Amino acid sequence: MGIGIRLRKLWGLRGGVALCLALAAIAGVWSVQSIGLLPPRLTPRALEMATASTHVVVDTPTSAVIDLRRDTYSFEALTNRAVLLGNVIAGSAVRQRIAERAHIPPETLRIEAPLTTMQPAAPPESGNAKQTSDILRSNDQYRVNIQANPSVPMLDIYARAPTAASAAVLANAAVDELRAYLTRLAAAKKTPAADQLKLLQLGRAKGTVINKGVRWEVFVLAFVLTFAVSCATVLFLTRVRAGWRLQTLTERATRA
């Protein structure tokens, strides 16, 4: 009789551990894959984060950067124009074309215009104001941060995307679409080529993943936490069930 009880306890313990392992495995897979039921499918979650950067010099057709005959006031004027161009990139028209060139949904793209001493923070109506809820945003969003150098006419463009390739495409698309916008505007206004701004990109952007191995880290963390919680739950329920059984046996013995 005692051996039978021990076997049942052992079998119940093994069954509980197997259930905990199954739940932990499901939680681990769910943390890195989106599970679909109809039809059954697994879709990778956007957990990795990649960045890419490029730099653009705002110059004149005769190159004020290398012409020693140009005074420093010309640099100051070009620096102010660089801030203006940074805001042009963040405008809705250029933003839409950047999303199309990068082959991403426009609603997932956020572009932060350069901040200055006159505008130290993004206005709330721009949709780019910093909020505490930003930490809960999904990694499948695409972001472009534009910074204007305060001393030289240069724009620093930083892109963030789920993959290294998409981050590089996004950063380069911002430059290409700004150049295309200026070309269209000059043609519409019939501005002579000698009076147009020149954008000099200092090398094409290259993306890199900044959190490699995050999928395995998330999987292991979800597996361990789920296994620990489920084991504690099973152990608690087992003890509660044993207590009820003992109470029932005690009541029966008392009545007898």
> What number is the average pLDDT over the span 179-201?
91
pLDDT in tens, 21-48: 888 888 888 887 887 777 777 777 777 7
Task: Give the pLDDT band of residue 174 (cuts 50, 70, 90).
Answer: very high
**pLDDT higher at 219 or 249:** 219
- Asked if residue 200 has pLDDT above 50, the reply is yes
List all residues 6 or more positions away from 162 whose beta carbon is below 8 Å from its beta carbon: 46, 48, 49, 50, 139, 140
- Amino acid, single-letter form, for residue 231: C
Give the pair of three-digit tokens for residue 176: 């290409």
pLDDT in tens, 77-130: 888 899 999 999 998 889 999 999 999 999 889 999 987 665 555 554 444 555
How many other CB atoms are there within 10 angstroms of residue 214's CB atom?
A: 15
Residue 180 pLDDT = 95
Residue 125 pLDDT = 45
Residue 136 pLDDT = 46
Burial class (CB in 10 A: 0-12, 13-18, 19+), 52: buried
- Asked if residue 4 has pLDDT above 60, the reply is no
Give the pair of three-digit tokens for residue 205: 């952007």
Residue 121 pLDDT = 57
> What number is the average pLDDT over the span 146-160?
92
pLDDT in tens, 202-230: 999 999 988 787 778 888 999 999 989 98
- Asked if residue 256 has pLDDT above 50, the reply is yes
Collapsed DSSP state (helix, strand, coil) of residue 64: coil
Average pLDDT, rounded, for the chain: 81
Give the pair of three-digit tokens for residue 138: 């999904």
Give the pair of three-digit tokens for residue 231: 């084991």
